[in-house]
Amino acid sequence: MTTELALTILPGIYAVSRLPSEAIIPDWALGSQFASITRTDEELSILCPQKCVPNGVQHEPDWRCLKVEGPLSFSLTGVMASLLGPLAEAEVSVFAISTYNTDYILVKAESLKEAINALLAAGHDVRAI
């Protein structure tokens, strides 16, 4: 696989919320163009725009989202490694999500510049919408 990937910085600030595993998916989690909902036997995890998360909900705030332009073939290998390796070397913490079409990398807002620089140095193309 070629390690050169195109990424787009999505607008907005995101939060990752944690609800009990048996919780019903709340309406506030469904009203945006980008959200991710994952249920396990331990939790209901919701990534959505930070402004949608009500007060009192356990969450980790202030994430920015970089979308790998896709769709990506399931036969590709090393996509995440080519992104996460440079970010790890730059000591940038990440929250990664994969969908059917592509991958998303979230970094804390205060680390966005460092993340962009690390990805550009690794040969990726990063642009804002």
Place of tokens 């769709």: 71
What's the residue count for the chain?
129
pLDDT digits (tens, 9 = 90+) for 10-19: 999 999 999 9
pLDDT at 129: 78
- Asked if the model's pLDDT at residue 2 lies above 80, the reply is no
DSSP class per residue in 69-87: PS---TT--SHHHHHHHHH
Homologous superfamily in CATH for domain 6-128: VC0802-like (3.30.2130.10)
| Rg (alpha carbons) of the chain, rounded to whole number | 15
pLDDT digits (tens, 9 = 90+) for 71-124: 788 887 889 899 999 999 999 999 999 999 999 999 999 999 999 999 999 999
